[in-house]
């Protein structure tokens, strides 16, 4: 149902999730799922609500672009 993606330590998962949403892809930041642990940037990608493989591929392309932008200096 979900794929967990670990992000680079300098990437803010909440900001990435918000930017992905603006780009038309709903992902969740991992931080709220680990309230008792030290913050570590992750994204939770849900793939069960997608109709086609093409939609999944497009979503991954969009999220990857958001992550690349977040890593730019």
Residues 6+ apart with CB under 8 A from 46: 1, 2, 26, 27, 28
What pLDDT sits at residue 49? 73
E strands along the chain, which residues?
A: 2-6, 28-29, 42-46
Task: For the chain, give every domain's residue range.
Answer: 2-71
Asked if 45 contacts 27 with a C-beta cutoff of 8 angstroms, the reply is yes
pLDDT in tens, 8-49: 999 999 999 999 999 999 999 998 888 788 778 999 998 887
Between vectors from CA 44 to CA 23 and to CA 9, what angle results, nearest 5°?
Answer: 90
């Amino acid at each position: 149902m979900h794929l967990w993606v670990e992000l680079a330590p300098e990437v803010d998962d909440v900001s990435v999730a918000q930017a992905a949403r603006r780009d038309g892809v709903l992902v969740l930041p991992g931080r709220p799922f680990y309230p008792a642990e030290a913050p570590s940037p992750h994204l939770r990608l849900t793939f069960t609500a997608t109709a086609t493989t093409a939609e999944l591929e497009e979503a991954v392309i969009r999220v990857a672009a958001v992550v690349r932008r977040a890593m730019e200096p």
